[in-house]
Amino acid sequence: MAGKNTGRPPFWFMRQAGRVLPSYRLLKEKHSLWEMMSTPETGASVTLLPVDDLGVDAAILFSDILMVPYAMGMGFEFTENGPVFSSPLAGSTDPLARLNPDPSKLGFVYNIIDKVMAAKPESIPLIGFCGAPLTVMCYMIQGLGKKADFPEAVKFMYENRSLTLKIIESVTEVSIEYVKGQIKHGIDVFQLFDTHSGLLPVDLYNELFIPSIKKIGRVVRESNIPFIYFPKGLGVGIETVTPDMCDYLSIDWHIPIKKARKMVHPEIGLQGNLDPRLLYSSKEEIEVQLEKYIYFGKSNRNWIFNLGHGFIKDTPFENAKFMADWVREADWNR
């Protein structure tokens, strides 16, 4: 993927291996999400579904960012309304004592990676991932994201600064073991998802969380694996991201991509950033918006086409397919 001139930008989509695909919906009738994420054969075949169904240039491991809290002894269930933790840390008198990190519990994920590596076409890189500490901790502290802005999790972080730092350290340690495990089993690229990075003021985010992002990124890049960092909602904070932190910065849908290119350090490649909700509109309107990327793509080679956040569950598949075909077949003038 990196730096190869194929005449067009490479592309894949966040949440591509999920509910947008009719083939996935069929499997989901027979298996629970947890079953699919823990059975090597099913996990590997779901990982590769979008390669066949959408023709994307990369596969992303079918798993979830909540595997790290699971390995830290936190029980949860995936429900229709999203993940629900049985006892979130905010309700505990001694949250640290509740945690029992055991990275060996992540072995089942590596079995899926082994299967994908054996089955995937050589030209398709496998993207491994985990959640960044802030995002993972929002779920650990508050449980289900009852409100998208996680008020209880943010309150906890302000009320319990030193405890928050200890939890960050512990989540970072497990995440690093997890990254190392994924690399050992052959992933080609790594993406760090910080879906909730916009919850805090940029200065506080940088002070509390950037040291961990750097530690995780270093482990990835020391293995010569490209590191993509997705700090959703970070806003002007993307100006503070430095090339020692990541190879690619994934831009959310809020910032025009041209503007992002001016804001982000020129040595950092970009990924993104079509609004996934655009896919609810007509093909004509989708095409109008896609065409706006042609000019950007002509002058910016260090760019991976993607969405500005993951596919939403009721996205019409035919519009997702229309977008994928369009990106593959458009004349990119290069």
Site for ligand CP3, rule CB under 6 A: 14-19, 28, 33, 60, 62-66, 78, 82-83, 129, 131, 135, 193, 195, 310, 313
Q: Which helix (H) or strand (E) holds 242?
A: none
- Nearest approach in angstroms of CB 228 to ligand CP3 is 12
Give whichever of 1 and 331 is closer to ligand CP3, judged by the CB atom: 1
**Closer to ligand CP3 by Cβ: residue 33 or 294:** 33
The candidate with the shortest Cα–Cα distance to 140, out of 195, 103, 85, is 85
Q: CB-wise, 131 or 226, nearer to ligand CP3? A: 131
Cβ at position 75, least distance to ligand CP3 in Å:
15
Minimal distance, residue 69 CB to ligand CP3, in Å: 10
**Least Å from the CB of residue 243 to ligand CP3:** 24
Cβ closest to ligand CP3, residue 19 vs residue 180 = 19
224: which 2 tokens? Answer: 């010569």
Nearest to 272 by CA among 282, 291, 258: 258
Contacts of 228 (CB under 8 A, 6+ apart): 127, 189, 190, 191, 192, 246, 247, 248, 249, 250, 271, 304
For residue 251, the minimal CB distance to ligand CP3 (Å) is: 14
Closer residue to ligand CP3, CB minimum distance, 33 or 117 = 33
Considering the complex, state which of residue 38 and residue 300 has its C-beta at the smaller distance from ligand CP3.
38
Q: How far is the CB of 316 from ligand CP3 (least distance, A)?
A: 16
Q: Cβ of residue 255: shortest distance to ligand CP3, in angstroms? A: 17
- CB nearer to ligand CP3: give 96 or 119: 119
Structure tokens at 4: 């190869």
What minimum distance in Å lies between the beta carbon of 139 and ligand CP3? Answer: 7
Tokens of 306: 């993607």
Whose Cβ is closer to ligand CP3: residue 30's or residue 161's? 30
Q: What is the DSSP string of 173-221?
A: HHHHHHHHHHHHTT-SEEEEEETTGGGS-HHHHHHHHHHHHHHHHHHHH
| 76-79/82-85 β-pairing | antiparallel
DSSP letter string, 49-117? HHHHHT--S-EE-S--TTHHHHHTT--EEEETTEEEESS-GGG-SSHHHH----GGGGHHHHHHHHHHH
Residue with the closest Cβ to ligand CP3?
18
Nearest to residue 72, comparing CAs of 196, 169, 181? 169
